[in-house]
A and B are shown apart, each in its own frame.
Chain A
Amino acid sequence: MSRFRVSVHIVPRKGLLDPQGKAVADALHALGFADVEDTRIGRHIVLDVNADSAAAAELSVKAMCDKLLANPVTEDYQIASTVTA
């Protein structure tokens, strides 16, 4: 059993209004960053997980996302990185 640090990105689903992301995109445009097409603001969760392998740790984190960490109606999640903790 090893300890893995798994990071997950959770963002509002594309197509749903993300007022926070829109406000930031508007501000970036006002600052001259005209190349910004879309901004979405979500959350980043870092979990230290005990598991037999990195794959097992990721599988466990996916189950956590499906059950609690992300709302399947409004959010998408993606495992950003998995490293030995």
Chain B
Amino acid sequence: MKFGIVTFPGSNCDVDAIHAVTDQLGQTAVSLWHRDHDTQGCDVLILPGGFSYGDALRAGAIARFSPIMQEVQAHAERGAPVIGICNGFQILCESHLLPGALMRNAGLKFICDWVHLKVDGTAPLYLAGYSPDQVLRIPIAHGEGRFAADDATLDALEHSGQVVFRYCDAEGNVSDAANPNGAARGIAGITNAAGNVLGMMPHPERAVESLLGSTDGLPLFESLLARVGA
């Protein structure tokens, strides 16, 4: 399977994503520049973490208008997989490929830490490798990760199984105490209605080898491989 990792000016997790899909998953990855208009036949597109355009105006607001975003949108509309991690999630929300927005952390501080996530939702493309309600340990690193949307949007997301990850404690309890950034309803990751566009603040690409503390991100990519084909 061929992954395209988009680099925007200010992306800093693009190499981590390439490492995860090539060295850990044995797949092919190409680096795509934000000015490109050719996604080189990639099966999956990843918008990585970082600080595109230095977070000027709002995180992801400028990157949304990068030339390659037209291709990312077309890829998403074809039903092909698009993953936005951290800044990538912010870009997908700014692009309206995902609903809601990511706001300044409730505690105002940038948080770099390990968190627990509870698997929720019904997106088999990304969740097939997990058991329902499984508790994962995956790192976060963000200052603007507080997911926000109006109540009607949040209700609709929950109702249709589009909330795929929630912050929880080690036992799997979703609570305010386990919510690092004040995200609405503890939401850490969502998909679009079709289930092919995934956005999440935690970094699954940094949790793919035991040497670095966790392999809980691997099943996400393996689910994709099983569904889309190797």
Contacts and interface: CB of A to CB of B under 8 A. Distances in A.
Interface of A: 12, 16-17, 19-20, 23, 68-69, 71, 73-74
B103 A20 contact: no
Contacts of B106: 17, 19
Question: Top 7 closest A-B pairs, CB basis?
Answer: A73-B101, A74-B101, A19-B108, A19-B106, A71-B101, A74-B148, A71-B58
11 contacts: A16-B103, A17-B106, A17-B146, A17-B182, A68-B65, A71-B61, A71-B94, A73-B100, A73-B101, A73-B148, A74-B101
Interface residues of B, number: 20
Identify whether the interface residues of A are mostly helix, strand, loop, or mixed: mixed
Nearest to B94: A71
Given A20-B108, A73-B148, A74-B148, A68 B61 contact: yes
Identify whether the interface residues of B are mostly helix, strand, loop, or mixed: loop
A74 B103 CA distance: 8
A30 to B, nearest CB: 17
Given A16-B103, A19-B105, 15 more contacts: A12-B103, A16-B148, A17-B146, A19-B104, A19-B106, A19-B182, A20-B104, A23-B108, A68-B61, A71-B58, A71-B61, A71-B101, A73-B93, A73-B99, A74-B148
